[in-house]
Chains A and B, each alone.
Chain A
């Protein structure tokens, strides 16, 4: 089913999408999307939503299952507090992408903004994954409690910019960030450290990037032909010694 968003208010557009999904539509194409917020918010089940244009903030928030593909750039809050499913962005993502994400995947071909992957979680088999093809802004993976973030540094539009911003993984107490290439120690916030990539890590990276490359039609071998750096927490209980009773 095809819906032309154009200048529709997000309420109207999302109601149309909701009604279509209720009616059993599993394939949706949204055209001329002009910054409408909350698209696919809290949608569940097996659905494919293709978006042409620029979806607004909180795309796929609380989402649990669907696959959303954006043929363009996305704005802030992609996959905010998302439970499961997949969001594919052929352009750039912006700030707070994957905030408090608890499962599913977000694949971005280009750059991502500030505060990406803050407080991502993990629970048993629910391991959220973010892959950014370009660079990531400041505060990446702050308070990260679980999940996987991979930053590749390819398709880097601002070629001069460094692959990571400042204050990476401050307060991290779970999960891992893999960066293709070296990481300057000064980029890391308190609580996280750099580690050598283990054989297990390599298996994880390869598995995730294989799917990423299939989605964007990229060469897996070329991507893997580089040293990755792992950023992981120093402790799962970073603030254990902060408090006293009597």
Chain B
């Protein structure tokens, strides 16, 4: 049956006058969109994903990518994307895969929140002249501390729980080796060391190359338990139980066997070529009591020296769930909002399941305060932290720290072409292909991620100084320093934020 198939999204325009036929673009295109035909570079527009690799590699600036000029007839509901998905599924009868985060909901509540500053009545602080504290401790805090005077000094008599000491309230999120390359993993780990923060191993174990950085790595234990063994648990700065992630709440993961290379096989400890299947739930966790059991098993395994974190996707009943997680003994809870990124997820889940991290964060913080247990766990927010403004707003809504995934990858060279699931990442990030991987230099990449974290830290100090605050601790849960702009009454109520002007 002849059927119309959707038009390509992009068009590769090659300036034939400028092109000197060096073929560098062809060598660099990992999606096969450029080929050598009839002594010139020929573009196959339907394969182009607009990853910008050819554009940046062309020595003559001869390539430009454009949105295709060929349009479908417009319809406000049956968008081109909606039609394209139907075409694909009517051809294949399969679940649509997607990468990166939610594309269906464009409103980001952070953009409707405004930060406060001092004018006249209380002085702003100049961070260039006065110290502003960003140090953050992740873990259970005591309800009170008992100090004893010993002559000139004080002795702390309260036994403190193990905590992560971070120089900045920004951590690098959990992304697995398998989803991203070992070079990307190493770059993120080095950056975490450089800036005094942590990165996450993700759920695929830890490549042996990464062990030297392990005191800045939070090792993850997910439902697949890949690469989880005593040395792994003992190496990490903390252990994180992954229950869910924002891009696929309630969904397991299938890393296709085609991506299980020699080294991934060794790190995950599964055979080469077999699918790496993470079941939807942990089959030893069917209740809060079971979660408490795994939390305690991990604390026993690490002899009570490391904090145990629990990560969940932000879902409808998130406040009550987090109350349970806190009571199950988690030293920190990671709440991953519905816009969080991923290497691969069913599109329908990514775009339709979960709630925004801003609302989840505010309601969890509120609930734990009302129950008098907010000190017993730290809250870490993730899923759409795009700049230092988002960091400040998340902290003012109640987060102790945030995690960044996509932003860190963009710092490594990701252009958000949204094709992570193909494993053909032209920038050497979401790929296991040795040639593509060699394009990412871990040392250079680390410097870029470190630069980003440094820039945001300086900006955070500016934000705090402007608000007359000299420590990030005083911004935590300080919703009085936020105002809502263009938000409805109910949303403001959940956020615990006054409307601008009030």
Which residues of A come within 8 Å of B, CB atoms? 10-11, 14, 18, 37-38, 41-42, 44, 57-58, 61-62, 64, 77, 80-81, 83, 96, 99-100, 102, 115, 118-119, 121-123, 126, 142-143, 145-146, 171, 173-174, 236-246
Contact = CB atoms under 8 A, between A and B. Distances in A.
Given A62-B301, A99-B283, A119 B271 contact: no
- Identify whether the interface residues of A are mostly helix, strand, loop, or mixed: loop
Given A41-B300, A145-B277, A238-B275, A119 B254 contact: no
B104 interface: no
Nearest to A15: B303
B451 interface: no
Interface string B69-102: 0000000000000001000110110111100000
B293 A237 contact: no
Most chain-B CB neighbours within 10 Å: which of A18, A77, A237, A240? A237
Nearest to A174: B274
5 contacts: A41-B300, A126-B269, A145-B270, A245-B97, A246-B88
A196 B256 CA distance: 29
Interface centre among A42, A236, A241 (most CB of B within 10 A): A42
Given A14-B300, A58-B297, A62-B230, A77 B284 contact: yes
Interface in B251-297: 254, 256-257, 265-266, 269-271, 273-275, 277, 279, 283-284, 293, 296-297
Interface residues of B, number: 42
B103 to A, nearest CB: 14
B84 A246 contact: yes
Contacts of B95: 242-244
Task: State the main secondary structure of chain B at its contact with A.
Answer: mixed
A121 B229 CA distance: 13
Interface in B419-458: 421-422
A126 B268 CA distance: 13
Given A58-B293, A244-B94, 6 more contacts: A42-B301, A123-B271, A142-B279, A174-B270, A240-B275, A244-B95
A236 B260 CA distance: 12
B225 interface: yes
B224 interface: yes
A115 to B, nearest CB: 6
B233 interface: yes
Contacts of A241: 94
A62 B270 contact: no
B46 to A, nearest CB: 9
Nearest to B283: A118
Nearest to A118: B283
Contacts of A62: 228-230, 233, 297, 301
A38 B300 contact: yes
Interface of B: 84, 88-89, 91-92, 94-97, 223-225, 228-230, 233-234, 254, 256-257, 265-266, 269-271, 273-275, 277, 279, 283-284, 293, 296-297, 300-303, 346, 421-422
Contacts of A237: 256-257, 273-275
A36 B114 CA distance: 52
A171 B274 contact: no
Contacts of A243: 94-97, 254, 346
Given A62-B233, A80-B284, A83-B230, A143 B277 contact: yes
B271 A146 contact: yes
A37 B293 CA distance: 9
A11 B296 CA distance: 10
B126 to A, nearest CB: 50
B271 A122 contact: yes
A239 B230 contact: no
Contacts of A142: 279, 283
Contacts of A246: 84, 88
B283 A236 contact: no
Contacts of A64: 229-230
A192 B254 CA distance: 18
Given A37-B296, A122-B270, A246-B88, A236 B230 contact: no
B229 A57 contact: no
Centre residue among B224, B257, B275 by max chain A CB count within 10 A: B275
A245 B422 contact: yes
Contacts of B283: 96, 99, 115, 118-119, 142-143
Nearest to A82: B229
Contacts of B270: 121-123, 145-146, 174
Which 8 pairs, one residue from A and one from B, show the smallest C-beta to C-beta distance? Answer: A42-B301, A244-B94, A100-B225, A244-B92, A123-B269, A38-B300, A41-B300, A118-B283
Contacts of B92: 244
Nearest to B96: A244
A102 B233 CA distance: 15
Nearest to B301: A42
Contacts of B421: 245
Given A99-B283, A243-B94, A42 B225 contact: no
A58 B283 CA distance: 13
Contacts of B279: 118-119, 142-143, 171
Name the residue in B97, B275, B297, B300 with the highest tally of chain A Cβ atoms < 10 Å from its Cβ: B300
A237 B284 CA distance: 24
A187 B228 CA distance: 31
A173 B275 contact: yes
Nearest to A101: B225
Contact of A236 (B91, B96, B257, B346): B257
A15 to B, nearest CB: 8
B303 A18 contact: yes
A56 to B, nearest CB: 10
A81 B225 contact: yes
A81 B265 CA distance: 17
A44 B230 contact: yes
A100 B234 CA distance: 19
A239 B84 contact: no
Contact of A41 (B89, B275, B301): B301
A223 B289 CA distance: 40
A119 B297 contact: no
Contact of A119 (B88, B89, B225, B229): B225
A173 B270 CA distance: 11
B300 A174 contact: no
Contacts of A244: 88-89, 91-92, 94-97
A42 B299 CA distance: 10
A125 B230 CA distance: 18
Contacts of A239: 254, 275, 277
A168 to B, nearest CB: 15
Contacts of A38: 296-297, 300-301
Contact of A83 (B229, B266, B300): B229
A206 B297 CA distance: 35
